[in-house]
Amino acid sequence: MCGLVGYVGWRDAAEVLLAGLRRLEYRGYDSAGVALADEESEIGLRVLKKAGNIDDGLEKLLKNGSSNGSHLGIGHTRWATHGEPNDRNAHPHTDCPDELALVHNGIIENHQSLRKWLSGLGHEFTSDVDTEVICHLMEHYLQDEGDLSQALARSCEHLEGAYAVAVVQSPLGANEREIVAARKDSLLVVGLGDDENFLASDVPAILPYTRRVMYLENGDFVRLTADDVTVFRSDGRRVDRPVTEVQWDPVQAQRDGYPHFMLKEIEEQPAAWESALRGRLSGGEVDLQGLQFPALEDIEHIYFVACGTSYHAGMAAAPLWERLLQIPASAEIGSEFRYRQPLLGEDTLVVFISQSGETADTLASLDLAIEENCPTICVTNVVGSSMARRADNVIYTQAGPEISVASTKTYTTQLLILFLLACHLGRQLPHGQQHSETCDRLLAAMPSLSDLERQLLNDTTEIGSAAERIADWEDSFFIGRGLDYVSALEGQLKLKEISYIHAEAYPAGELKHGTMALIEEGVPVVAISTQPQLRDKMASNVEEVRARGAWVVAVTDQPEGEVARRSDAVIPVPDSEPELSPLFVGTALQVLAYRAAVLRDCPIDKPRNLAKSVTVE
Ligand code: M6R
């Protein structure tokens, strides 16, 4: 949820940290801070931190204070989980004599008992955050061990929960310029440079400086100096971690002149879909490059487990998988799945969907599935993410980095990959043969989807007009049937998330069982209709809400059809295979939400109260 960065080398550490934190600000932006080792002065460690975003807070502090001369430091951008988002609770945190400073991502679950114990030993706490217990544990063990690495290993023995933690020591007390760090259930990567090394919770933070990265494993500790990186386990045993060359270009993570990342990412969808299919689909044949899927003949149930938008991708995929594989399939919300004690075992295939690959509830569900010996597949956008590493099989969406909090291109590439997998697996099963024509039809349609998407994005006039109408209201409704209901769910989430307009999605036939009471004169209703067998029913549902005064905009692949005719406005989407329609409807509704949010002057890429990666349960 938060972002951390560390630097040791020859550059101005303050500059490197500030630039890195800016690139991580999408992970959390309640406050930001840095700790810089100041070798020239008697201060030792200079800690600068401030509530608010980087521009308004930390950057001003750095301009006012003297940050020059330091070549070692750590930084953090925070999304509050414990304690208010204020200066006091901002990271880095220090022990009392400011001998060491520390930044942390994650949650220490047993922080209260540790706080009590450490207070009893005389440690004084100055913040409300769980992280501070690690500072005092470090202080405690540093006295015994005299060595930062060992003190961190001893401290971590006490911690329950998730953490990526990085520590620096005042140069006045330290033998060497070093950063030590540890990870458990929170991502941490090392960037390797020449006479300099980097540490970060996410690769984009260090991409301007190096592409050579080392992903740390759970339970790893690392010690970085300017010319050395040592990875070790809690017993001190050294371990090697492979060095990966990251392909992402730093400019890919910039806005390219778009006013918002969200718009850039929406418009990147045609290219992202091509990238998702690249090397995987050619001449109607699917090649998943050596992925070893479980024997589907033995599978009795398929679950898709995910949160938020990724859950909607699972909902859209489940009916197609069920039909093509002839195996019951259902989508489950990550934060609910574990607690309802699902029947799991070797005959249950569980597919985890996550843009980040780090969402805590989805990750915990994956751990449960692994414990229960379920075969697992993970669909994610982030190479080397925790889910990617733990699942039996991983298939990457290859959408490129997504910075805006709202999922756009990662949602539609998830859909595409899940539809591709359904066709691929369906064709392999003896009892799936009855649907081989459907598989062939869908696979044949896939290569031209990106061009249809370009056409949709080339002319968004009707979407803009509908957005103007909706932006004036505080409430809205999204209705659809079957797959269109799933698109309605995703459309309302996007609208709420970035424009702050209250929106509710309903299966169109369900409105009259209660919610219809809320339909009043002028209220906007987005009615989605792309499923041929449900068009007549949808037309009646449109009639029902219009009769109560609703203003209806139809989102449909039949702009001359009955649903469109009975509506006040129409947003046309390409006429493709009905099973693939969530791709286009998803895009049209992203644009609708985006346009409404622009009209309402909302902070689109960083909606209030939200973060890109939700690594707390
Ligand atoms: O990284 P994940 O896909 O696991 O994230 C899950 C949700 O937090 C995410 O899909 C969220 O709902 C979207 N950012 C909303 O646009």
Query: What's the pLDDT tens digit per position in 233-280?
Result: 999 999 999 998 887 666 555 565 688 999 999 999 999 999 899 889
Tokens found for residue 102: 């520390």
Residue 2 Cα to ligand 1 midpoint, Å, equals 15
Assess whether the C-beta atom of 307 lies below 6 angstroms from ligand 1. Answer: yes
Name the token pair of 73.
């430091």
- Does 612 qualify as catalytic in the annotation? yes
Cβ(615) to ligand 1 under 6 A?
A: no
For residue range 303-356, what is the model confidence (pLDDT) as tens digits?
999 999 999 999 999 999 999 999 999 999 999 998 999 999 999 999 999 999
Cα(362)–Cα(473) distance, rounded to whole angstroms? Answer: 34
For residue 542, name the pLDDT band (cuts at 50, 70, 90).
Answer: very high
DSSP single-letter state for residue 84: -
Ligand 1 centre and the CA of 376: distance in Å? 20
Contacts of 343 by beta carbon, 8 Å cutoff, 6+ apart: 301
Dump pLDDT digits (tens) for 39-87.
Answer: 766 678 889 999 988 888 898 888 876 556 789 999 999 867 667 778 9
| CB 614 less than 6 A from any atom of ligand 1 | yes
Q: Is the CB of 492 under 6 A from ligand 1?
A: no
For the residues 422-433, what does the mean pLDDT come to?
79
What is the structure's pLDDT at 217? 93
CA triple 302-376-340, angle to 5 deg: 60
CA 596 to centroid of ligand 1, rounded, Å = 20
% pLDDT > 70, the chain: 94
For residues 483 and 557, give the distance between their C-alpha atoms in angstroms, rounded to a whole number: 14
Alpha helices in 304-354 (DSSP H): 308-325, 334-337
Average pLDDT score over residue span 512-526: 93
Considering only CA atoms, give the Rg of the chain. Answer: 26
Least trusted range by pLDDT, from 54-58, 77-81, 506-510, 582-586: 77-81
d(CA 374, CA 392): 9
Task: Label residue 144 by pLDDT band (50, 70, 90).
Answer: confident
Tell which wins on pLDDT, 25 or 10.
Answer: 10
Query: Is 26 a residue whose pLDDT tops 80?
Result: no
Q: Is the pLDDT of residue 17 over 80?
A: yes
Q: Are 67 and 14 in contact (CB under 8 A)?
A: yes
Q: Are 238 and 231 in contact (CB under 8 A)?
A: yes
- Statement: residue 1 has pLDDT above 60: no
Q: Are 378 and 179 in contact (CB under 8 A)?
A: no
C-alpha to C-alpha distance for 193 and 409, rounded to whole angstroms: 32
- State how far the Cα of 267 lies from the Cα of 454, in Å rounded to an integer: 8
pLDDT at 28 over 60: no
Torsion angle in degrees (nearest 10) through CA of 36, 37, 42, 47: 30
Cβ pair 349, 374 in contact under 8 A: yes
Using DSSP's 3-state secondary structure scheme, residue 72 falls into strand
CA of 315 to the centre of ligand 1 (A): 14
Ligand 1 lined by 380 (C-beta under 6 Å): no
Q: Which residue's CA is minimally distant from atom 7 of ligand 1? A: 308
Q: Tell me if the bond preceding 92 is cis, omega within 30° of 0.
A: yes
If one compares 427 and 168, the residue with the highest pLDDT of the two is 168
Edge-to-edge strand ranges of the sheet holding 376-380 = 329-333, 301-306, 348-354, 376-380, 393-396
Distance CA 311, CA 314 (A): 5
Please give the domain boundaries of the chain with CATH numbers for all domains.
Answer: 3-253 (3.60.20.10), 261-454 (3.40.50.10490), 459-599 (3.40.50.10490)
Query: 157 vs 95, 150, 188, 221, 292, CA distance in Å?
Result: 19, 11, 18, 12, 37
Cβ of residue 407 lying under 6 Å from some atom of ligand 1: yes
| Greater pLDDT, 431 or 118 | 118
Mutate which of 309, 353, 378, 403 for ligand 1? The one with the most ligand atoms within 8 Å of its CB, which is: 309
Residue pLDDT, tens place only, 281-296: 989 999 887 788 888 8
pLDDT the model gives residue 401 = 79
Q: Which amino acid is at 562?
A: E
Look at 257 and 12; give whichever has higher pLDDT.
12
Distance 311 CA to ligand 1 centre (A): 8
Q: Which of 50, 184, 494, 612 is catalytic?
A: 612
Band (24; pLDDT cuts 50, 70, 90): confident
CA pair distance 312, 314, nearest whole angstrom: 5
pLDDT at 316: 98
Task: Tell me if 204 CB under 6 Å of ligand 1.
Answer: no
The CB of 364 under 6 Å from ligand 1? The reply is no
The CA 306 to ligand 1 mean position distance, Å, reads 8
Q: At residue 76, what are phi and psi to the nearest 5 degrees? A: -155, 140
What residue type is assigned to position 14 of the chain?
A
Instruction: Give the side-chain half-sphere CA count within 13 A for 263.
Output: 16
Q: Sign of torsion, CA 405 575 581 502?
A: positive
Check residue 67 and give its pLDDT. 56
Closest-CA residue to 189 (of 59, 313, 3, 459): 3
The answer to whether the CB of 613 is under 6 A from ligand 1 is: yes
| 156 in active site | no
pLDDT at 13 over 90: yes
Mean per-residue pLDDT for 479-485?
Answer: 98
Atom of ligand 1 nearest to the CA of 380: 3
Q: The tokens of 4 are what? A: 């951390």
602 lines ligand 1 (CB under 6 A): no
Share of the chain above pLDDT 90, in %: 71
State the helix-helix crossing angle for 111-120 and 132-145, rounded to 10 degrees.
50
Give mean pLDDT, residues 221-240. 96
Q: Output the residue whose Cα is nearest ligand 1's atom 15.
A: 406
Q: Is the sign of the CA dihedral 382, 386, 387, 393 positive or negative? A: positive
More confident residue, 144 or 486: 486
> Which pLDDT score, from 0 to 100, does residue 84 have?
74
Better-scored residue on pLDDT, 566 or 246 = 566
Q: Beta-carbon neighbour count of residue 113 at 10 Å?
A: 12
Helix-helix angle 581-599:409-428, to 10 degrees: 170
Which of the residue ranges 462-466, 595-599, 613-617 would you say has the lowest mean pLDDT? 613-617
Q: What is the largest CA-CA distance in the chain?
A: 79
Q: Which residue has the tokens 């063990």?
A: 141
Pocket test for ligand 1, best of 260, 352, 356 (most atoms within 8 A of CB): 356
pLDDT at 66: 54
Say if strands 524-529 and 551-556 run parallel, antiparallel, or are unpaired. parallel
pLDDT at 106 (0 to 100): 83
Nearest to 273 by CA among 445, 489, 461: 445
CB 313 within 8 A of CB 284: no
